[in-house]
Amino acid sequence: MEYKYKIPLAQPDITNLEKKAVLEVLKTPNLSLGPKLKEFERKIAKYVGVKYAVAVNSGTSALHLIVRALRIKDGDEVITTPFSFIASANCILYERAKPVFVDIDEKTLNIDPLKIENKITKKTKAILTVDVFGYPADWDKLKKIAKKYKLFLIEDSAEALGSEYRGKKCGSFGEAGIFGFYPNKQITTGEGGVVVTNNRDIAELCRSMRNQGRQERGGWHFYQRLGYNYRLSDINCVLGITQMERIKEILEKRNKVANMYNEKLRDLFALEILYTGPNIKMSWFVYVVRLNKRYLQKDRDKIIKEMSKRGIQTSNYFPCIHLQPFYRKRFGYKLGDFPVAENVSQRTIALPFYNNLKEREINYVVKNLKEIITKLK
C-alpha cells in the first residue's frame, strides 16, 4: 500500500550497520539481560557525563522509576509543566501524587522559573522539568529554587539527547534524568528509555524495579521489592549502541535540516521560529514553528489539514496536558488556567523533520506552507 504522505512527520535513520548489529545479537542466546544491555548503559552514561545509566523499555517507564526511587507518594506534590508529552505528568499520578502545573516561558517554551515559588507548598517534594523540543530548561534558576526549598529535581530530557546548558549535557542536572528512544527521537532503540543519575542508590533501585524487584546479586526468584517488567531487550540495546556510535553524525544531520528550515522561513512574517538563546547547544528533536498572534487555533488546524491534502504530514505539538479530558475531569482544569501554554499550544505546527530530509523536500514543505498561509489572509 502506498504511504499516505509523500513527506512524513518523522522517520528513523537506520543503516546497514544497525541491521547487521541486530542480526548478530539474534545469533546469540542473549536476547535479554545480556551483555548489550550493560554496553548500551555504559555508552549513554559516558556520553551524558554521569556515573550510572539504567536502560528500560520507555522514557515513561524511566520517569515512573525515578518517581518511585525518590519515594514520592500519596499526598505529595510535584511541580511540572503543562506543555509537554503527557507522560511527564502521568508518571506522577502512577504513585498517586499530584502534578502541580506551572505556566511556561513564552520564548523558551520551558517551565517559567519565576512562577514556581508561588506554587510550592508543604506537600511539594520535587520539580519535574522538561527540556522541551530539545531546548534546555533554565537549570541555574531551577537548581537555586530546589536548593532553597529542599526539593528533588527530576529532568525529563526525553527530547534532548545531545543538548547542552552552559557546556553541560542535558540529563545530568537533577537527582536523576531520563531520555526516550522512540523512533522520532535523536537516536532510537525502537521502543526504549533510560534513567541517568550520579546517585548510586537511585540507580540500584531503578535497576531492581525494572526487573520485577529482583536484586542484581539475588536469585532469579528472590524479589526484594515491588517491581515491574520494564526491561529493554539486547536487540533494542544493540540498535541503540550502533546509533550512539553515529551520534555526532546524527546530530549534525538534524542541525543541518533545522538550519535549512530557519533560513527558508526566516522572512515569513506569519511565523515565529523556535528561539535559541545564549549558553545553550540545541539538539533538535522536532522542528516546531508558531503562527503569530493574529492567527487562531482554527487557522492552525486548517493549515495542518491542507498540508495533509498535499502529502505533507504535520502536527500540533503539544496540546496542553491540563486540557486533556482525563485531567479536566479529575482536577477541574479549564481554559485560561495556564494562558501562556494555551496560547502557544493553539498556534504551534510541527513540520516534517528527520535526519535524511532532503532540501528539495524542505522546499516543497515551505512552498506549500507559504501558499496555504497566504490564502488564510
Residues 113-146 pLDDT 10s? 999 999 999 999 999 999 999 999 999 999 999 9
pLDDT digits (tens, 9 = 90+) for 235-249: 999 999 999 999 999
In the DSSP assignment, the letter for residue 32 is: B
Q: Which of 245, 274, 294 is the last residue of a domain?
A: 245
User: In this predicted structure, what is the pLDDT of residue 272?
Assistant: 95
Is residue 44 assigned to a domain?
A: yes
Grid coordinates of 234:
539486547
pLDDT digits (tens, 9 = 90+) for 249-293: 999 999 999 999 999 999 999 999 999 999 999 999 999 999 999
- Check which CATH number belongs to the domain holding 97 and give it: 3.40.640.10
**Sole residue written with cell 546509533:** 243
Task: Give the pLDDT mean for 320-332.
Answer: 98
Say whether both 23 and 83 belong to one domain. Answer: yes
**Sole residue written with cell 504551534:** 348
Question: Which DSSP string do the residues of 221-253 spell out, in sequence order?
Answer: T-B-S---B---BHHHHHHHHHHHHTHHHHHHH
d(CA 258, CA 253): 9
Say whether both 252 and 371 belong to one domain. Answer: yes
Say whether both 27 and 69 belong to one domain. Answer: yes
Q: Which of 228, 245, 262 is the last residue of a domain?
A: 245
Say whether both 173 and 258 belong to one domain. Answer: no
Is residue 6 assigned to a domain?
A: no
Is residue 10 assigned to a domain?
A: no
Say whether both 206 and 313 belong to one domain. Answer: no
Is residue 177 assigned to a domain?
A: yes
User: In this predicted structure, what is the pLDDT of residue 377?
Assistant: 67
Say whether both 208 and 254 belong to one domain. Answer: no
Among candidate residues 289, 292, 287, 288, the one with its CA nearest the CA of residue 270: 292
SS3 73: coil
Domain range enclosing 369: 247-376
Say whether both 110 and 131 belong to one domain. Answer: yes
Is residue 7 assigned to a domain?
A: no
Per-residue burial over 134-162, b = 16 or more CB atoms within 10 Å of its CB, e = otherwise: bbbbbbeebeebbeeeebbbbbbbbbbbb
Is residue 171 assigned to a domain?
A: yes
Quote the pTM value: 0.96
Is residue 8 assigned to a domain?
A: no
Question: What residues contact 163, with CB distance under 8 A and at least 6 apart?
Answer: 131, 134, 135, 136, 157, 169, 170, 280, 281, 282, 283
Q: Which of 198, 225, 245 is the last residue of a domain?
A: 245
> What's the structural domain count of the chain?
2
Q: Which of 47-51, 53-57, 214-218 shows the lowest per-residue confidence on average (mean pLDDT)?
A: 214-218
User: In this predicted structure, what is the pLDDT of residue 216?
Assistant: 77
Per the prediction, the chain carries an average pLDDT of 96
Say whether both 93 and 105 belong to one domain. Answer: yes
SS3 113: helix
Is residue 9 assigned to a domain?
A: no
pLDDT digits (tens, 9 = 90+) for 192-231: 999 999 999 999 999 999 999 998 777 888 999 999 999 9
Say whether both 288 and 304 belong to one domain. Answer: yes
d(CA 216, CA 235): 21
d(CA 204, CA 284): 31
Say whether both 207 and 328 belong to one domain. Answer: no
Say whether both 363 and 241 belong to one domain. Answer: no
Say whether both 134 and 270 belong to one domain. Answer: no
Residue 106 pLDDT level (bands cut at 50, 70, 90): very high
- Check which CATH number belongs to the domain holding 263 and give it: 3.90.1150.10
Task: Determine the longest span between alpha carbons in the chain, in angstroms.
Answer: 68
User: In this predicted structure, what is the pLDDT of residue 219?
Assistant: 80
